[in-house]
Amino acid sequence: MREIVLAARDVRRDYPVAGEPVHAVRGISLDVAAGDWVAIVGPSGCGKSTLLNLLGAIDRPTTGSIAIRGRDVARMNDADATRFRLTGIGFVFQRFYLMPTLTAAENVELPMAEAKLPRAARVARARELLAYVGLGARADHRPYQLSGGEQQRVAIARALANRPALLLADEPTGELDARTGTEMIALFDRLNRDGTTIVTVTHDEELAQAARRVVHMRDGAIVDQVLRRPLADAVPAPPHAPGTAQA
Amino acid sequence: MSLLPLLAFAALLQQPAPRSITIDERLADAAGLAVGDRVVLGTTPGGAGDTVRIAAITRRSADPSEVARSEFRVRLHLDHLQTLSGSGDRVGRFAVQSRDGAEPSAVAARINASAFGFRAYPAAEVAIETSATFRVVNRFHRAIGVITIVASAIFLLCITLLKVDERRRDVGALRLIGMSRSSVLRAVVLEASLVSLIGSLMGAGLGWFASAVVNWYYQGVYTTPLRFAIVTPGIVLFAVLLSLALGVLAGLFAAQRLVRRAPLELIGR
Amino acid sequence: MMLRLAMATLARRRARTALTTAGVAVAAAMLLDMVMLGSGMRESFRGFIEQQGFQIRLTPRGTMPFDSEATVGGGAALVRAVATDPDVVTVAPLLGAKLFSRTPGDSVVSAFVLGLDPAVQGDYVLVEGRDLAADDELVVNASYLAATGRAVGDTVQVAAGYDAQMRRVTGARTVRIVGRARFVMLGGSERAAAMRLAAVQAMGGRDRADRLSVVLVATRPGADIESVRRRLEASDARVSALSTAAALQLVDERLGYFRQLAFILASVSLAVGFLLVTTLVTVSVNERIGEIAVMRAIGVARWRIVAQVMAEGVALSLVGATIGMGLGLVTATWLNGILAAFPGLPAAFDFFFFEPAAAFRSLGLLVLCGIAAGIWPAWRAATLPIARTLREEAVA
């Protein structure tokens, strides 16, 4: 059996909007095994981004539990959650959100510097990751010198910096044109084949089709799940996969 | 001779019809004297003196040269002081009133030419001489004013720049939908001018209030009716116009940074 | 990395950062000037008084030194009596009077003359020539030489009194100018001269016989000055005794206005510096709210965000304060030049007095203000709701 990296149980998230409670997520349970790639799809406002924030320990559920690698992220205090996000989870955002004042390599180094990795080690790993996402030659460019697709590749490299157990991506192709979006999907596919566990939230049908499993949400609940490419029981990660989680 | 040290002693000596003097309110306060009291005046401590009656208590005039002086002041009839101090028929100075329309400096020059042993000065010249302290303080205040203007200009420029930067994207969007550079420029300059106009009017109000506090405080400290800070319409006009000019300049500087960039650059694409 | 990020953020908006730094620099300069002004007059005056080397001044009761023409008689006996006090080391008697000098053009110039004992005087510093050695010698200042058209070495006719009407002098004698000096306590434009005490007394005839204006008293090191002062004042009903502290108190009262102004302007400068830094850092945080939310999302700790935002404020105020220090010294020289014309103060009197400790304290205060200015925006940045901010930023 594969290890269950993520186990969400009866997760609810309510928040008030203009005094009225909004039930953004209503009792979702979801398991994600190591090496899996889950795409969460659904109409706007169905709660998929809220769910992703909950899974990533950015937000806390009103009730329910979320265990990542056996640790209940729903009960962590802020400092622990922050630390966990740094080392346990990689985030990719729709709008890339690179630090405009830092170079591509420095952007990738940022989480490693925060995790107190020695300078030499983080410089080497940043180069390795940028080469992996196909930007080896552009390490010293600043975000404004890169195209949207290139910025998103840097953001992916940054997300993988501390070898997270889980890569979370919120509409990673949302800001990209069709061709660049296809390239991005190929990159995600390669990452997943190399062993990275991925959860994406998307409107992009092509991206959803590439995932192993598609979870359909409506009104804060899972309404359907489609298994597209089942995981083999044990696929060892290739030795060079930069995104592989540490054991 | 008015500066001659006159020491006052409360006394109960009875003498026929004593001469009268006036003292200032500081001396009255310090020595506990009142109108009608009798005191002995002398030119040396413990020496022989003359018993006099306090006829009045005076308040200092609004004379800049006297503000910082703390000595007591006694006024006597001229002949009385001449007798008391043994200075015969000598006087320290004369005050001369000229005919209406006469040019004081010409009168002074004529007096100086016609006799020797003294010198005549027009009152204006004396006023300049005696208000030296205030002229120095005035120059000092002007210098502080210059520094303040520099500081406020920088502050205003900084704030205008920040405000413009903050709305970079909005302006970019407006430019994209067809707003001209000159419209953007006008809008920014107008806004900066309004901010400085309103600010300067508020500042004038604050200045008026501060001047009232300053006057109240220092008139108490120096026991003088002299006004230390005066807000005149001219000063308000100067402040408002200066602020307006700075506002327009700051607006122009900030706006030209905005309009020389392409709309797409402004919205960060 | 965080420091690099903070500095890069400041460098990203160069015009804005430069302007804020300039604003802080002007505020710092003003603050420094006002601190220099606040303590300057007092320290400057203390310097003069201490340079004279006497701790107590005896004056005719109820008067200030040379504030009036009052004198006290029996000077020699008074000096002898004061000298018997076990804590008194030196007694320097002084008589101030008017001195009328004839110019080569036969007009008469009036000056202030100090009668003193050159062996124990602290009123002038010799610049040229030699000190007084005989009764018919005169030490004068530059203004005197300029007004009388004389030079060191010249012989000049001086008098104690002058009747302008009759053009007649009284108590005249011929003396030789033996030295040029800077008179410590007198304004530079005042014409001043010094003679031996006996000569000044003798020139005034009966009116000045054995009379003194001021008696300067130096005490034994370690003596309790206040108790000596009280003893001296109690020993003779004709005199008041004034200690250095009391003299400083008088200066404080006379020039209190400047201290109050200094305090108010210093406070305003601090407030302006604080406001500038707060505004800039707040706007900078607002602009980067998305970036900050992302940093928090990828696991950057709260305190690191706080440190980064505060580093911006500290850097701005540090650089501003450093520039402001130089600027402040320049403006202080300028302002001091303006106030140098203040009437009735010694020529070398400084309104602005640079005291390194006070200067660094004040600039330290400004940097503290810079730190404080960063607290609110930093806290806002650190506590922003990550999920909501990201959502709102995505919408924007």
Q: Is B257 on the interface with C (CB under 8 A)?
A: yes
pLDDT at A36 over 90: yes
- Is residue B86 left, alpha or beta, with left meaning phi > 0 and alpha meaning psi from -120 to 50? left
A7 φ, ψ (degrees, to nearest 5): -135, 105
How are the residues of chain B apportioned to helix, strand and coil, as percentages rounded to the nearest 5?
A: 55, 10, 35
Q: Which of C8, C300, C302 sits opposite A101 (nearest CB)?
A: C8
The tokens describing C336, both together, are: 């001091």
Q: How far is C359 from chain A (nearest CA, A)?
A: 36
Q: Which amino acid is at B215?
A: N
- CB-nearest to A101 from C5, C294, C299 is C5
How far is the CA of B165 from the CAs of B89, B157, C234, C394, in angstroms? 80, 12, 74, 20
- Is pLDDT at B105 greater than 80 in this prediction? yes
Chain C residues whose CB is inside 8 A of the B151 CB are: 23, 26-27, 30, 272
Residue B33 falls inside a structural domain = yes
CATH number of the structural domain spanning residue B29: 2.40.40
pLDDT of residue A126: 95
In three-state secondary structure terms, B182 is helix
pLDDT reading at B161 higher than 70 = yes
Reported as half-sphere exposure (CB side, CA atoms, 13 A), residue C136 has a value of 10
Q: Which residue would you say has higher pLDDT here, C340 or C333?
A: C333
| Interchain CB distance below 8 Å, C272 and B3 | no
Q: Assess A201–C contact: CB distance below 8 Å, yes or no.
A: no
Q: Is the predicted pLDDT of residue B159 greater than 80, yes or no? A: yes
Q: Chains A and C: how many Cβ contacts under 8 Å?
A: 83
Question: Residue type for A112, please?
Answer: M
Distance from CA of A167 to the nearest CA of C (A): 11
Q: Are B140 and C70 a contacting pair at CB < 8 A? A: no
Are B177 and B248 in a shared domain? yes
- The number of domains in chain B is 3
Decide if A78 touches C, using CB distance below 8 A: yes
Local confidence band at A39 (pLDDT 50, 70, 90 cut-offs):
very high
- Could you tell me the residue ranges of all domains in chain A? 4-227
Residue-wise pLDDT for B181-227, tens only, equals 888 888 889 988 998 899 999 999 999 999 999 889 888 877 777 78
* Tokens matching residue B79: 């002949």
Q: In this structure, is the dihedral angle defined by the CA atoms of residues C333, C337, C342 and C344, taken in order, positive or negative?
A: positive
Find where tokens 């925060």 sit: A114
State which residues form the domain around B119: 97-130
Partners of residue B143 in chain C, C-beta under 8 Å: 334-335, 338
Judge if B120 and B144 occupy the same domain. no
Contact at 8 Å (CB) between C89 and C220?
yes
Q: Which residue of C has its CA nearest to A164?
A: C298
Measured CA distances, B219 to B225, B226, B228, C51 (Å):
6, 7, 8, 35
A111 with C301: Cβ contact below 8 A: no
Q: What is the pLDDT of residues C297-327, one digit of tens each?
A: 989 999 989 988 888 888 888 999 999 999 9
Give A85-105 pLDDT, tens digit per residue: 999 999 998 888 888 888 999
Q: Quick one: B78 and B190 in the same domain?
A: no
Same domain, B149 and B195: yes
Residue in C288, C298, C393 to test binding to A, most A beta-carbons within 10 Å? C298
Task: Say how far apart CA A74 and CA A167 lie, in whole Å.
Answer: 18
In this structure, is the dihedral angle defined by the CA atoms of residues C268, C274, C276 and C278, taken in order, positive or negative?
negative
CA dist B33 and B26 (Å) reads: 10
Neighbours of A210 (CB within 10 A): 22
How does strand A89-92 pair with strand A166-170?
parallel
Question: Would you say the C-alpha torsion A135, A138, A140, A142 has a positive or negative sign?
Answer: negative
Distance separating alpha carbons of residues A154 and A202, to the nearest angstrom? 19
Domain at A4-227: CATH code: 3.40.50.300
Taking CB atoms and an 8 Å limit, are C394 and A94 in contact across chains?
Answer: yes
Of the candidates B3, B155, B157, the beta carbon closest to that of C68 is on B3
Q: DSSP secondary-structure letter at C86?
A: T
User: Are B53 and B155 in the same domain?
Assistant: no
Tokens of A125: 């790993």
Distance CA C354, CA C126 (A): 26
Q: What confidence category does residue B6 fall into, taking pLDDT thresholds of 50, 70 and 90? A: very low
Residue A28 dihedral angles phi and psi, to the nearest 5°? -95, 135
- Check CB contact under 8 Å for C299 and A102: no
- Answer whether A47's CB lies under 8 Å from A60's CB: no
B227 vs C62, residue with greater confidence = B227
Distance separating alpha carbons of residues B55 and C184, to the nearest angstrom: 43
Smallest CA–CA separation between B16 and chain C, in Å? 30
The conformation of residue A214, written as its DSSP 8-state character, comes to: E
Q: What percent of chain B has pLDDT over 90?
A: 13
* C20: chain B residues, CB-CB within 8 Å: 158
Write down the pLDDT at residue B45: 59
CB of C214 closer than 8 Å to CB of C65: yes
Q: Which residue has the tokens 């830094």?
A: C277
Same-domain pairing of B241 and B122:
no
Per-residue pLDDT reduced to its tens digit, A175-185: 889 999 999 99
Contact state of B116 with C63 under an 8 Å Cβ cutoff: no
Same domain, B185 and B226: yes
Say if residue B47's pLDDT is above 80. no
CB contact under 8 A, A85 and C390: no
Instruction: Please state the rounded mean pLDDT for residues C106-131.
Output: 87
Query: What's the confidence (pLDDT) of residue B172?
Result: 82
Q: Which tokens sit at B83?
A: 């007798």
Chains that touch C (3 or more CB pairs under 8 A): A, B
Q: Does C170 touch chain B (CB under 8 A)?
A: no
| Selected residue with higher pLDDT from A50 and B42 | A50
What pLDDT, in 10s, does the model give residues C181-225?
988 777 667 889 999 998 998 888 877 888 898 898 988 888 888
Report which of C27, C49, C28, C37 is spatially closest to residue C336, judged by C-alpha positions.
Answer: C37
| Chains touching chain A, criterion 3+ CB pairs below 8 Å | C
Q: Is C254 on the interface with B (CB under 8 A)?
A: yes
End-to-end CA separation in angstroms for chain B: 85
Cβ–Cβ < 8 Å for C103, C149:
yes
Q: Are residues B231 and B164 in the same domain?
A: yes
What is the CB-side half-sphere exposure of residue A129 using CA atoms within 13 A?
28
pLDDT bin (cut points 50, 70, 90) of residue C361 is confident
Element (H, E) at C318: helix C302-339
Nearest CA among A246, A235, A240, A243 for reference residue A2? A235
Q: Do A97 and C294 make contact, defined as CB atoms within 8 angstroms?
A: yes
Contact B87, B1 (CB under 8 A): yes
Q: Is C67 on the interface with B (CB under 8 A)?
A: yes
Contact at 8 Å (CB) between B259 and B266? no
The set of long-range contacts for C4-11, using a CB threshold of 8 Å and a minimum separation of 24, is C4/A102, C4/A106, C5/A99, C5/A101, C5/A102, C5/C308, C6/C308, C6/C309, C6/C311, C6/C312, C6/C315, C7/C311, C7/C315, C8/A99, C8/A101, C8/A102, C9/A101, C9/C284, C9/C288, C9/C312, C10/C312, C10/C315, C10/C316, C11/A101
Instruction: Scan residues 69-98 of C and list those with Cβ closer than 8 Å to B.
Output: 69-70
- Kindly report the nearest CA distance between residue A233 and chain C, in angstroms: 31
Token couple for A94: 């729709």
C-beta separation of A212 from A38 below 8 A: yes
- Give dist(CA B122, CA C95) in Å, integer: 34
- Could you tell me which residue, B136 or A190, shows the higher pLDDT? A190
Q: Given the DSSP bridges, would you call strands C155-159 and C88-102 parallel, antiparallel or unpaired?
A: antiparallel
Task: Give the model confidence (pLDDT) of C143-173 as tens digits.
Answer: 899 988 899 999 999 988 887 666 778 888 8
C-beta atoms of A85 and C299 within 8 A: yes
Same domain, yes or no: B112 and B171? no
Partners of residue B21 on adjacent β-strands = B54
Whether the per-residue pLDDT at C48 is higher than 90: the answer is no
Give the per-residue pLDDT at B3.
35
Element (H, E) at A144: none
Q: Could C300 and A93 be called an inter-chain contact, meaning their C-beta atoms sit closer than 8 Å?
A: no
Q: Is the confidence at residue B131, as pLDDT, over 50? A: yes
Determine the Cα–Cα distance for residues C64 and C61; give it in Å rounded to an integer: 9
Task: Kindly state whether B132 is in contact with chain C, defined as any CB-CB distance less than 8 angstroms.
Answer: yes
Cβ-based contacts of A59 with chain C (< 8 Å):
386-387
A103 Cβ under 8 Å from any chain C Cβ? no
Q: Phi then psi for C258, rounded to 5 degrees? A: -65, -35
- Phi first, then psi, for residue C34 (nearest 5°) are -70, -35
Closest Cα in chain C, distance from residue B161 (Å): 7
Q: What mean pLDDT value characterizes chain C?
A: 85
What's the DSSP call for residue C87?
Answer: T
For residue C53, which of C191, C220, C165, C204 has the smallest C-alpha distance? C220
Are residues B107 and B143 located together in one domain of the fold? no
Output C306-309 pairs: Cβ under 8 A, ≥24 positions apart: C306/C378, C306/C379, C306/C381, C306/C382, C307/C2, C307/C378, C308/C2, C308/C3, C308/C5, C308/C6, C309/C6, C309/C281, C309/C284, C309/C285, C309/C374, C309/C377, C309/C378, C309/C381, C309/C382
Which residues sit opposite C161 in a β-bridge? C170
Are B5 and C343 within 8 A, CB to CB? no
Q: What DSSP element (H or E) covers C153?
A: none
Determine contact: A93 vs chain C, CB below 8 A.
yes
Shortest Cα–Cα distance, B5 to chain C (Å): 6
B92 within a domain of the structure (yes/no)? no
Residues of chain C contacting residue A164, judged by C-beta atoms under 8 Å apart: none
**Given the DSSP bridges, would you call strands C108-116 and C192-196 parallel, antiparallel or unpaired?**
parallel
| Domain identity same for B71 and B169 | no
Check CB contact of B96 with chain C, cutoff 8 Å.
no
Model confidence at C247, in pLDDT bands (50, 70, 90)? confident
Question: In this predicted structure, what is the pLDDT of residue A222?
Answer: 95
How confident is the model at residue A121, as a pLDDT? 95
Contacts of B64 in chain C (CB under 8 A): none
**Binning pLDDT at 50, 70 and 90, where does residue B15 land?**
very low
| Residue A71 to residue A5: CA distance in whole angstroms | 10
B262 burial level (CB within 10 Å; 0-12, 13-18, 19+): exposed
Query: What is the rounded CA–CA span in Å between residue C190 and residue B197?
Result: 48
Three-class secondary structure of residue A90 per DSSP: strand
Chain C residues with CB under 8 Å of A24 CB are: none
* Reported ipTM: 0.82
Closest CA to C328 of C295, C352, C301: C352
Q: Is residue B247 part of a domain?
A: yes
Supply φ then ψ for residue A194, to 5 degrees: -80, 5
What span, in angstroms and rounded, lies between the C-alpha atoms of C259 and C261? 5
Average pLDDT, chain A: 89
Mean pLDDT of C328-335: 91
